[in-house]
Structure 1
Amino acid sequence: MPFEQSHPIRSIADIRRLEAIPLEEAVTAVSTYDIFAESARAFGDRPALTFLQTGNPDDEPIRWSYRELFEKITATANLFHGLGIGPDDAVAALLPACLEYHLVLWGGEAAGRVQPLNPLLDLDKLASLIETAGSKILVAYGAPEDADYWQKAMALRSRIDGLKVLRVAPHDEERPPEHQGDGDFQAGLRDQPSDRLVSGRTIAPQDIAAYFHTGGTTGAPKLAMHTHGNQVFTAWASVQLQGQTRDDVSINAYPLFHVAGVLPASLTALSAGVETIIPTTTLLRNPDVRANYWRIVEKYGATSLSAVPTVLAALANVPTDGADISSIRYCRTGAAPLAPELAARFETLFGLHVHESLGMTEMAGITSIRPPGVRGPAGCVGFPIPYSKMRVVAIDADGGPTDRDVGPGEAGMFLFKAPNVFPGFLNEEETRKAFTSDGWLVTGDVGWVDKDGRIHLTGRAKDLIIRSGHNIDPKVIEDALESHPAVQLSAAVGAPDAYAGELPVAFAVLMPGAGAVNEDELLDWTRGNVDEPPARPKSVTILPAMPTTNVGKIFKPELRRLAAERTVRELLAEAGADGAKANANLSAGGKLSVAVTLPAAMEAEKKEAIVARLTPLPIPYSIA
Structure 2
Amino acid sequence: MGPTPATIGERPLVLSPRDLAEIEAVPLSERHLPASTYELVAHTATAHPDRTALHLLGEDSRPWRDAPRWTYRTLLERVHQAANAYLALGLPEGGVVALMLPNLGVTYAALLGAQAVGIANPVNPMLAEEHLVDILTITGAQVLVAPGPGLSAHLWDKAQRVAARLPGLIAVAAVGSPPVSSPVPTVDFTAMTAEQPADRLVTTVRRGGDDIAAHFHTGGTTGTPKIAPHTHACQVYMAWALGCSGAYLDNAVTLSGLPLFHVNAVHVTGLGPFMHATAVVSLGPSGYRDKGLMADFWQIIERYRVTGFSGVPTVFSSLPPIPDGVDLSSLRAGTVGAAPLPSRVRERFEATAKVPLLEGYGLTEATCASAITPACAPRPGSVGLRLPYQHIKTVTVDADENPTEDCPPGATGVLAISGPAVFPGYLRPSPGGPRPEPTGKIFDGWLITGDIGHVDTDGYVYLTGRAKDLIIRGGHNIDPRPVEESLLAHPDVMAAAVVGAPDPHAGEVPLAYLVLRPEATTDIEELRDWATAHAPEPTAAPRSIHVVDALPTTAVGKIYKPGLVLDAVTRIIQTVLELHHLHGQVDARLRDGRTHATIHLATPGNASIAALVADLDAYAWSYEIVREPTR
1:499 Cα deviation from its structure 2 partner: 7.7
1:518 Cα deviation from its structure 2 partner: 3.3
Residues 83 and 342 from structure 1, CA distance in 2 versus in 1: closer, same or farther, beyond 3 angstroms?
Answer: same
- 2: distance between equivalents of 1:528 and 1:133? 43
Q: Establish whether residue 103 from structure 1 lines up as the match of residue 103 from structure 2.
A: no
Q: Which residue in the other structure is 1:518 paired with?
A: 578
Whichever residue aligns with residue 97 of structure 1, its letter is N
Whichever residue aligns with residue 93 of structure 1, its letter is L
Residues 430 and 341 from structure 1, CA distance in 2 versus in 1: closer, same or farther, beyond 3 angstroms?
Answer: farther
Q: Which residue in the other structure is 2:419 paired with?
A: 418
Q: Which residue in the other structure is 1:184 paired with?
A: 188
Whichever residue aligns with residue 305 of structure 1, its letter is F
Q: Which residue in the other structure is 1:369 paired with?
A: 372
Match of 1:17 among 22, 28, 40: 22
Q: Which residue in the other structure is 2:358 paired with?
A: 355
- 2: distance between equivalents of 1:159 and 1:531? 48
1:303 Cα deviation from its structure 2 partner: 0.4
- 1: distance between equivalents of 2:25 and 2:353? 39
- 2: distance between equivalents of 1:4 and 1:194? 25
Residues 290 and 521 from structure 1, CA distance in 2 versus in 1: closer, same or farther, beyond 3 angstroms?
Answer: farther
Q: Which residue in the other structure is 2:140 paired with?
A: 134
Aligned-residue RMSD, C-alpha: 3.5
Whichever residue aligns with residue 374 of structure 1, its letter is A
Residues 426 and 397 from structure 1, CA distance in 2 versus in 1: closer, same or farther, beyond 3 angstroms?
Answer: closer
Match of 1:333 among 331, 336, 347: 336
Superposition pairs of residues 464-543 of structure 1, within 5 angstroms:
491=508, 497-498=551-552, 501=560, 502-503=563-564, 504-506=566-568, 518=578, 524=584, 535-536=596-597
Superposition pairs of residues 112-191 of structure 1, within 5 angstroms:
112-144=118-150, 146-163=152-169, 164-169=171-176, 176=178, 178-180=180-182, 182-191=186-195
- 2: distance between equivalents of 1:93 and 1:121? 13
Residues 218 and 182 from structure 1, CA distance in 2 versus in 1: closer, same or farther, beyond 3 angstroms?
Answer: closer
- 2: distance between equivalents of 1:5 and 1:518? 57
Give the secondary-structure state (helix, strand or coil) at the position aligned to 1:78: helix
Residues 148 and 397 from structure 1, CA distance in 2 versus in 1: closer, same or farther, beyond 3 angstroms?
Answer: same
Q: Deviations over 1:347-366 (max 9, x none)?
A: 12222211011111111111
Give the secondary-structure state (helix, strand or coil) at the position aligned to 2:79: helix
Q: Deviations over 1:140-176 (max 9, x none)?
A: 012546322211111122222252011110xxx7xx5
1:404 Cα deviation from its structure 2 partner: 2.1
Give the secondary-structure state (helix, strand or coil) at the position aligned to 1:165: strand
Q: Establish whether residue 254 from structure 1 lines up as the match of residue 258 from structure 2.
A: yes
1:242 Cα deviation from its structure 2 partner: 2.9
Whichever residue aligns with residue 536 of structure 1, its letter is A
Match of 1:80 among 69, 83, 86: 86
Match of 2:454 among 448, 453, 459: 448
Q: Percent identity?
A: 34
| Alpha-carbon contact 1:505-1:538 (below 8 Å) kept | no
User: TM-score, normalised to structure 1's length?
Assistant: 0.75
| Alpha-carbon contact 2:346-2:357 (below 8 Å) kept | yes
Give the secondary-structure state (helix, strand or coil) at the position aligned to 2:11: coil
1:115 Cα deviation from its structure 2 partner: 0.7
Q: Which residue in the other structure is 2:47 paired with?
A: 42
- 2: distance between equivalents of 1:294 and 1:278? 14
| Alpha-carbon contact 2:95-2:118 (below 8 Å) kept | yes
Q: Which residue in the other structure is 1:403 paired with?
A: 404
- 2: distance between equivalents of 1:139 and 1:417? 34
1:318 Cα deviation from its structure 2 partner: 3.3
Q: Deviations over 1:412-454 (max 9, x none)?
A: 1111211121111221796312123x33211112111123211
| Alpha-carbon contact 1:27-1:233 (below 8 Å) kept | no
Q: Deviations over 1:479-531 (max 9, x none)?
A: xxx9xxxx666659897755885251346999xxxx99635868859759998
Give the secondary-structure state (helix, strand or coil) at the position aligned to 1:432: coil
Match of 1:282 among 279, 286, 293: 286
1:304 Cα deviation from its structure 2 partner: 0.4
Match of 2:326 among 323, 326, 333: 323
| Alpha-carbon contact 2:96-2:119 (below 8 Å) kept | yes
Q: Deviations over 1:367-420 (max 9, x none)?
A: 111133222214x1111111123321124456x253222222121111121112
Residues 286 and 25 from structure 1, CA distance in 2 versus in 1: closer, same or farther, beyond 3 angstroms?
Answer: same
- 2: distance between equivalents of 1:334 and 1:124? 29
Q: Establish whether residue 305 from structure 1 lines up as the match of residue 305 from structure 2.
A: no
| Alpha-carbon contact 2:397-2:414 (below 8 Å) kept | yes
| Alpha-carbon contact 2:386-2:461 (below 8 Å) kept | yes
Residues 137 and 6 from structure 1, CA distance in 2 versus in 1: closer, same or farther, beyond 3 angstroms?
Answer: closer
Gaps spanning 5+ residues in structure 1: where? 466-473, 540-552, 555-624
Whichever residue aligns with residue 393 of structure 2, its letter is R
Q: Establish whether residue 26 from structure 1 lines up as the match of residue 26 from structure 2.
A: no
| Alpha-carbon contact 2:117-2:207 (below 8 Å) kept | no
Whichever residue aligns with residue 256 of structure 2, its letter is N
| Alpha-carbon contact 2:332-2:356 (below 8 Å) kept | no
Q: Deviations over 1:316-361 (max 9, x none)?
A: x433343222211121111112222221121122222110111111
Q: Deviations over 1:211-244 (max 9, x none)?
A: 1111251421111111110110010111112341
Q: Which residue in the other structure is 1:193 paired with?
A: 197
Q: Establish whether residue 431 from structure 1 lines up as the match of residue 438 from structure 2.
A: yes
Residues 61 and 517 from structure 1, CA distance in 2 versus in 1: closer, same or farther, beyond 3 angstroms?
Answer: farther
Residues 99 and 340 from structure 1, CA distance in 2 versus in 1: closer, same or farther, beyond 3 angstroms?
Answer: same
Residues 304 and 424 from structure 1, CA distance in 2 versus in 1: closer, same or farther, beyond 3 angstroms?
Answer: same
Residues 60 and 433 from structure 1, CA distance in 2 versus in 1: closer, same or farther, beyond 3 angstroms?
Answer: same
- 2: distance between equivalents of 1:280 and 1:392? 39
Residues 85 and 525 from structure 1, CA distance in 2 versus in 1: closer, same or farther, beyond 3 angstroms?
Answer: farther
Give the secondary-structure state (helix, strand or coil) at the position aligned to 1:153: helix
Q: Which residue in the other structure is 1:381 paired with?
A: 383
Q: Establish whether residue 231 from structure 1 lines up as the match of residue 293 from structure 2.
A: no
Whichever residue aligns with residue 578 of structure 2, its letter is N
* Deviates most, 50-59 or 213-222: 50-59
Q: Deviations over 1:181-232 (max 9, x none)?
A: 6211121122211222211112230111111111251421111111110110
Give the secondary-structure state (helix, strand or coil) at the position aligned to 1:186: helix
Give the secondary-structure state (helix, strand or coil) at the position aligned to 2:164: helix
- 2: distance between equivalents of 1:117 and 1:243? 27
Paired residues, number: 513
| Alpha-carbon contact 2:585-2:599 (below 8 Å) kept | no
| Alpha-carbon contact 2:219-2:226 (below 8 Å) kept | yes
| Alpha-carbon contact 1:252-1:265 (below 8 Å) kept | yes
Superposition pairs of residues 553-572 of structure 1, within 5 angstroms:
none
Q: Establish whether residue 344 from structure 1 lines up as the match of residue 347 from structure 2.
A: yes
1:72 Cα deviation from its structure 2 partner: 1.1
1:534 Cα deviation from its structure 2 partner: 9.1
- 1: distance between equivalents of 2:327 and 2:289? 23
Residues 536 and 38 from structure 1, CA distance in 2 versus in 1: closer, same or farther, beyond 3 angstroms?
Answer: same
Residues 286 and 237 from structure 1, CA distance in 2 versus in 1: closer, same or farther, beyond 3 angstroms?
Answer: same
